Chain A
Amino acid sequence: MFQVRIHGRGGQGVVTAAELLSVAAFREGKHAQAFPSFGSERTGAPVVAFCRIDDRTIRLREPIMAPDAIIIQDPTLLHQVDVFGGLVPDGYVLINTSRTFEELGLGEFISGLRRERLCTVPATELALKHVGRAVPNAALLAGFAAVSGRISLEAVNAAIREKFPSKIAEGNVAAANEAHAFVENQLREAASA
């Protein structure tokens, strides 16, 4: 089982991100379970959503306390919520920011993690450019697809097209494509550095 935890704020499409990820995994023949942390449906409040992916039926209903991957939609949460709580030692981290881990003050934290599994994406900028709204979720999922290889970009884009009406979907797909390329490039540069 592969477990993903997504942190963000109300209004950033955190719950939708987990749902989209589950749909993308389903489209690739996996079993997937997406669910929100309930109750904080207020704009701006910290929100957590979860997604489990497995090759067999998922029965477990507990919150994800030891995630294999963490997606952070809002870096202002870094010093407010224990976003990295329980992350497995070889886990993936994806942060929506145009800054580096070091610039975010995470240099020491990431020293214990596998560098090739960490990346940043300016997902909000990409969303503003392609969608016209600060909804970074689709771009982040594409970035997650690139860094983890757990799902394909095609499945993410198919999930986006299933969820949204065509005009909004195409903007998100464009943001997703650019985010995917951005992360791939980042990984290549890190590998050759």
Chain B
Amino acid sequence: MLKQVEGSAAVAEAVALCRPEVICAYPISPQTHIVEGLGRMVDAGKLTPCEFINVESEFAAMSVAIGASAAGARAYTATASQGLLFMAEAVYNAAGLGLPIVMTVANRAIGAPINIWNDHTDALSQRDCGWIQLFAEDNQEALDLHIQAFRLGEELSLPVMVCMDGFILTHAYERVDVPTQEQVDAYLPRYEPRQVLDPAEPVSIGAMVGPEAFMEVRYLAHAKQRQALELMPAWADEFRNIFGRESGGLTHHYRLDDAETVVVALGSVLGTIKDTVDEMREQGVKIGVLGITCFRPWPAATVRSALAGAKRIVVLEKSLAVGMGGIVSNNVTSSFAGSPDLVHTVVAGLGGRAITRSSLHRVFAEAVSGKLDALTFLDLDYAKVERVLAREREQRRSGPIAESILREVGVVAAKIG
């Protein structure tokens, strides 16, 4: 059924259609509307049997999800930003124990300085934790990926993070096609756990593992994640057959066939990139887009073949490996058969900085004409940065950095973009 709803409401409906049995909720912007929506459904008796547990922290949210999942329940939670960091130890445990929890991460920057706006730093900080990580391009895909996440996670006995851009998607009203319960039931079978805490057949989960076996356990986690690379494309076909639309899979390819310049990105910025690419195509520029839906496991073979004909690659990412450069671009470079010199990193949109078509035009045109640096910070105000650096050289007690930049920027209330 077509609806015009907020992204968070669409995700709440999708999660409810997946018949979760335990939902752990702790509020943090910008994911709060999702669990609020689910809470209302449980309260109204529309989602049953399901236990909605208000926990005291994100660490507790993931710990309760671990307990619920180990007891054989389909478990769900959502978080963002500092919340994800606060639960990090339990996040690793969920993956290490092989418990198929599904968690929405409404992507948001990490402080300090405190910033509630969108970028991908939170999810990418957990890229090596063992969770499958999927990134949604729009609210329809965010809805669809949750349904796929429960099936994929439960088949592999691995937890799945569905990442959607905080505010940009979670708070955007747009058209979504909400499937029927029958469609979701046809796609997502009942949860059959591979391991369960059952008093009738007691087992222990989470034993200490020494040097004699730890490597093997870790290898199995890696091997299981790699299985997702086989399952996801096949299940995307099945999803299309039941739901009648393309959604999910490992990557999205847009105007790549004869593309000499390929832009690689994750999440909602792909929409703005595609609009920009359409305009450049009209001007005769051979440019295309590779969207990464599945970031973990990393779809190396798919990326390699998608980039095979590229003369240059622009990885536009909302993340920064401080002291190094791009995170996504490092992954892309590892899967590119050509010279790493052809891969350009553009760090963009940190802390909610708007990524506009005009800025994308400029940076893509620079790439096409061979003028783009290896690492670029989109729309960074270098003059302000230089003034702060100059002050630091001049005086020992140069003061707090964030406040120095804020002084340089001045009043922002009048700004729109």
Binding site for B on A (CB under 8 A): 5, 18-19, 22-23, 26-27, 31-39, 45-46, 48, 57-63, 65, 80-82, 85-86
Contacts and interface: CB of A to CB of B under 8 A. Distances in A.
Given A62-B272, A62-B355, 8 more contacts: A19-B173, A22-B174, A32-B174, A32-B175, A38-B30, A38-B117, A59-B138, A63-B417
Interface in B247-277: 268-272, 274-275
A23 B173 contact: yes
B354 A63 contact: yes
B173 A65 contact: no
Nearest to A5: B416
Contacts of B30: 38
A58 B356 contact: no
Interface string B29-44: 0100000000000000
A48 B171 contact: no
A23 B4 CA distance: 6
Q: How large is the interface on B (under 10, 10 to 19, 20 to 34, 35 or more residues)?
A: 20 to 34
Contact of A61 (B117, B272, B414, B415): B272
A136 to B, nearest CB: 20
B116 interface: yes
Contacts of A5: 416
B175 A26 contact: yes
A85 B417 CA distance: 10
Contact of A81 (B116, B167, B272, B413): B413
Given A38-B116, A38-B167, A33 B174 contact: yes
B28 interface: no
A160 B2 CA distance: 18
Nearest to A46: B413
A58 B272 contact: no
A37 B356 CA distance: 15
Contact of A63 (B116, B174, B275, B416): B416
A36 B8 CA distance: 14
A80 B414 contact: yes
A155 to B, nearest CB: 11
Interface string B319-361: 0000000000000000000000000000000001011110000
A18 B4 CA distance: 12
Contact of B116 (A37, A39, A62, A86): A39
B168 interface: yes
Contacts of A32: 4, 173-175
Nearest to A45: B413
Nearest to B274: A59
B174 A58 contact: yes
B172 interface: yes
Contacts of A23: 4, 173
B154 interface: no
A59 B174 CA distance: 10
A46 B174 CA distance: 24
Contacts of B174: 22, 31-34, 58
